[in-house]
């Protein structure tokens, strides 16, 4: 099945979930999951809905940060990602459920917190997804989410994207810039939340962190093989994945050194009350 652009951006299947969880999660997601879980725990929620849970990095952080009396329902559009999440497991029971953020299968006012880690960028209609989150929140409940800042502030992703331009100069794969790093304008985020029916102003904090790996090969594999960027590479040339990975590992080593690598990552943390 050949897919391009936006439709392929949401496909996390095959070996992607395992590679994503093994390589990408510790590289860029873990520290932000800890941060979100800490913010959420400070509000002492009783019932939490996580949307776009992926392979469960935030779910595991929430399970550790919140008392066992708190119900956690973790959902994702992609069943293979949830399968990976539930097989890794959490330190206490959570409810895993396949669900589309665009049409949440829950009653009105059924959660006091909705949280989403690096998922909003994938929603085809952001304000519609935010309206769904608002609908399932109790009055005064809170939506927490984070999104990546522009790709230039995220050095490994920018380096990988630049390296692939030399492999496919006619049609460079732009997944990283287009989707994960495509929803960074805070005014647009605020407008989408207002359009979704939120009447309060969002609190938006920009948070830099470090992305570290034992070698340049790890982020190369993480991005080229553990994200939908893989779909874009293989759509251009089914045999190019190993070559693309090598090329990105070389580019990362040139910029960050041949041993352990350390690059800047940056995201916006958004909180808004219903």
- pLDDT at 5 > cutoff 80: no
What digits encode the pLDDT tens for the residues 128-176? 999 999 999 999 999 999 999 999 999 999 999 999 999 999 999 999 9
CA 159 vs CA 170, 219, 248: distances in Å? 18, 10, 7
pLDDT of amino acid 7: 54
What integer is the mean pLDDT of 213-224? 95
pLDDT confidence of residue 262: 97
8 pLDDT band, cuts 50/70/90, is low
The count of other CB atoms within 10 Å of the CB of residue 47 is: 15
For residue 25, give the CATH number of its domain.
3.40.50.150
Rounded (5°) CA angle 56-146-142: 90
Question: Which of the pair, 13 or 70, is modelled with greater confidence?
Answer: 70
State the Cα–Cα distance between residues 44 and 136, nearest whole angstrom.
18
6: pLDDT strictly greater than 60: no
Percent of the chain with pLDDT over 70: 95
Nearest CA-CA partner of 117 in 28, 196, 178, 201 = 28
Q: Give the count of domains, the chain.
A: 1
Examine the pLDDT at 4 and tell me if it is beyond 50: no
Average pLDDT of every residue of the chain? 93
pLDDT tens readout for residues 48-105:
999 999 999 999 999 999 999 999 999 999 999 999 999 999 999 999 999 999 999 9
Work out the pLDDT band at 10, boundaries 50, 70, 90: low
140 backbone dihedrals φ, ψ, rounded to 5°: 85, -5
Least confident of 23-27, 77-81, 178-182, 219-223: 23-27
Instruction: Find the domain containing 145 and state its range.
Output: 5-273
Read off the pLDDT of residues 251-266 as tens digits, 9 standing for 90 and up: 999 999 999 999 999 9
Look-up of token digits 């396949």: 98
pLDDT computed for residue 239 by the predictor: 93
The band of 2, judged by pLDDT with boundaries at 50, 70 and 90, is very low
- Residue 182, pLDDT > 50, answer yes
How sure is the predictor about 12, in pLDDT bands with cuts at 50, 70 and 90? low
**Residue 221 pLDDT > 70:** yes
1 has pLDDT over 50: no
């Amino acid at each position: 099945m050949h897919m391009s652009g936006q439709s392929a951006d949401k496909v996390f299947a095959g070996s992607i979930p395992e590679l994503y969880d093994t390589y990408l999660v510790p590289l860029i997601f873990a520290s932000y999951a800890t941060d979100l879980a800490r913010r959420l725990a400070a509000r002492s929620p009783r019932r939490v809905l996580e949307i776009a849970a992926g392979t469960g990095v935030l779910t595991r952080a929430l399970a550790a940060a919140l008392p066992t009396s708190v119900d956690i329902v973790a959902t994702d559009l992609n069943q293979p990602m949830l399968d990976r999440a539930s097989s890794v497991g959490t330190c206490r029971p959570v409810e895993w459920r396949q669900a589309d953020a665009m049409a949440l299968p829950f009653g009105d006012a059924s959660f006091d917190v909705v949280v989403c880690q690096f998922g909003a960028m994938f929603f085809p209609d952001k304000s519609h997804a935010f309206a769904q989150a608002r609908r399932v929140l109790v009055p005064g409940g809170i939506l927490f989410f984070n999104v990546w800042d522009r790709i230039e502030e995220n050095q490994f992703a920018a380096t990988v994207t630049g390296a692939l331009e030399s492999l496919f100069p006619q049609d460079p794969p732009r997944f990283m810039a287009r989707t994960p790093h495509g929803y960074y304008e805070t005014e647009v985020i605020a407008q989408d939340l207002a359009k979704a029916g939120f009447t309060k102003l969002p609190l938006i904090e920009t948070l830099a962190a470090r992305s570290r790996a034992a070698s340049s090969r790890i982020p190369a594999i993480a991005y080229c093989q553990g994200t939908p960027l893989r779909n874009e590479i293989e759509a251009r040339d089914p045999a190019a994945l190993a070559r693309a990975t090598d090329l990105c590992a070389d580019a990362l080593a040139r910029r960050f050194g041949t041993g352990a690598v350390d690059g800047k990552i940056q995201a916006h943390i958004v909180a808004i009350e219903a």
